[in-house]
Amino acid sequence: MEALTAKITPRLLHELDHLIEDGWYASRSEAIRDAIRTLVESKRYSRMKKAVMEDIEWGLRGE
């Protein structure tokens, strides 16, 4: 794995630490990896949805 340096606000760090304290994650790294996976999946889904909608519109126009 590669290390990534990022700056976050104290409030966001505090919220992240609460997730760890509450048992949602074992570490900051695990929580951040999960957040990045969720972001990537969301963006991938949005791109796929846009492509499908463009295909549907193209098909409805009969081109």
- Residue 32, domain member (yes or no): yes
- Residue 24, domain member (yes or no): yes
Opening angle at CA 1, ends 42 and 26, nearest 5? 70
Is pLDDT at 3 greater than 80 in this prediction? yes
Which residues, in sequence order, are CB contacts of 25 under 8 Å at separation 6+? 19, 31, 34
The tens digit of pLDDT for each residue in 24-63 reads 999 999 999 999 999 999 999 999 998 899 889 888 887 6
Query: Is this model's pTM higher than 0.75 or not?
Result: no
In the chain, how many domains are there?
Answer: 1
Backbone φ and ψ of 54, nearest 5°: -65, -40
Which residues, in sequence order, are CB contacts of 16 under 8 Å at separation 6+? 8, 28, 31, 32
Domain of residue 30, residue span: 10-61
* Residue where the block lists tokens 């409805």: 60
